[in-house]
């Protein structure tokens, strides 16, 4: 699977998927300081994450998660740390 990027609506962060031999997930880079944090999805058994995108308000993600060749739509909210 390839890495896909998605800009946050406020253009301050970039989300990207990662898929390796151990696990699949989502990470978010904050552009102001280059910090990268993994999003805790709780989805430990996915083979891959694709078609990642932010909601217009920047509070949610939608993506496709695949497992054993089957694809499922996922909607994720309340995943980002509170901005200080």
Kindly report the pTM of this predicted structure.
0.77
Rounded CA-CA distance 28/17 in Å is 9
How confident is the model at residue 43, as a pLDDT?
A: 74
CA distances from 30 to 12, 25, 38, 65, 78 (A): 6, 17, 12, 24, 17
How confident is the model at residue 60, as a pLDDT?
A: 84
* CB-CB contact of 72 with 50 (8 Å): no
How confident is the model at residue 33, as a pLDDT?
A: 95
Cβ–Cβ contacts within 10 Å for residue 66, how many? 16
How confident is the model at residue 70, as a pLDDT?
A: 86
pLDDT in tens, the chain (84 residues): 678 899 999 999 999 998 777 778 889 999 999 999 988 877 777 788 888 999 998 888 888 888 888 887 777 765 555 555
């Amino acid at each position: 699977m390839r890495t896909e990027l998605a800009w946050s609506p406020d253009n301050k962060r970039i989300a990207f998927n990662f898929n390796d031999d151990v696990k699949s997930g989502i990470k978010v880079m904050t552009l102001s300081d280059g910090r990268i944090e993994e999003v805790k999805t709780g989805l430990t058994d996915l083979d891959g994450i694709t078609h990642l995108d932010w909601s217009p308000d920047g509070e949610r993600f939608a993506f496709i998660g695949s497992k054993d060749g089957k694809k499922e739509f996922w909607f994720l909210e309340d995943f980002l740390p509170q901005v200080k």
